[in-house]
Amino acid sequence: TDEILRVTDLSTRYFTQEGQVNAVSSLDLRIERGEVFGIVGESGSGKSVTARSIMNLIESPGEITGGSVEYRNAEFAEAVVDDYPDAVDGEFVDLLEVPSRVRQSLRGTSFSMIFQDPESSFNPTITVGEQLAEAVEVQRRASARPRSTRARTDDYSLGEYLLSTVLSSRRYVSEESRERAIELLELVGIPDPVERADEYPHEYSGGMLQRAMIAQALAGEPDVLVADEPTTALDVTIQAQILDLLDELQEETGMTILLITHNLGVIARMCDRVGVMYAGEIVERGTLEDIFDDQVHPYTEGLLGSVPDLDGAGGRLQPIPGNVPSLLDHEMGDRCHFADRCPKAMEDCLEHPPEYPADGSDHHAARCVLAETEYDDARALPDDYFDGTD
Ligand code: SF4
Ligand code: MG
Q: Where are the alpha helices (DSSP H) in the chain?
A: 47-54, 74-80, 100-104, 128-144, 158-172, 175-187, 193-196, 206-218, 236-253, 264-270, 288-293, 298-303, 329-332, 347-351, 369-372
Ligand 1 contact, 246 CB (< 6 A): no
Report CA(275)–ligand 2 centroid distance (Å): 15
Ligand 1 contact, 368 CB (< 6 A): yes
Angle (deg, nearest 10), helices 128-144 and 175-187: 110
Q: How far apart are CA 76 and CA 87, in angstroms?
A: 11
- Ligand showing the shortest atom-to-Cα distance for residue 325: 1
By most ligand atoms within 8 Å of CB, the mutation choice from 335, 346, 350, 374 for ligand 1 is 346
Q: How far apart are CA 126 and CA 172, in angstroms?
A: 14
Residue scoring higher pLDDT (305 or 293): 293
Ligand 1 contact, 366 CB (< 6 A): no
Cis peptide before 61 (omega within 30 of 0): yes
Ligand 1 contact, 344 CB (< 6 A): yes
The number of CA neighbours under 13 Å toward the Cβ of 24 is 29
Whether the predicted pLDDT of 235 surpasses 50: yes
The mean pLDDT value for 87-93 works out to: 96
Paired sense of beta strands 36-40 and 88-89, if any: unpaired
Task: Give residue 152's pLDDT.
Answer: 35
Please identify, by atom number, the ligand 1 atom nearest to the C-alpha of residue 343.
Answer: 1
Q: How far apart are CA 115 and CA 232, in angstroms?
A: 10
Residue scoring higher pLDDT (244 or 144): 244
* Whole-number Cα distances in Å, 165 to 109, 161, 364: 14, 6, 43
Residue with CA nearest ligand 1 atom 5: 368
Report CA(49)–ligand 2 centroid distance (Å): 8
Residue with CA nearest ligand 1 atom 8: 345
Query: Tell me: the pLDDT tens digits for 186-197?
Result: 988 899 999 999
Task: Give residue 356's pLDDT.
Answer: 66
Report CA(228)–ligand 2 centroid distance (Å): 7
Report CA(387)–ligand 2 centroid distance (Å): 32
By most ligand atoms within 8 Å of CB, the mutation choice from 341, 349, 381 for ligand 1 is 349
Q: What is the ipTM of this complex?
A: 0.94
Whether the predicted model's global pTM rises above the 0.90 cut: no
Q: How far apart are CA 55 and CA 76, in angstroms?
A: 16
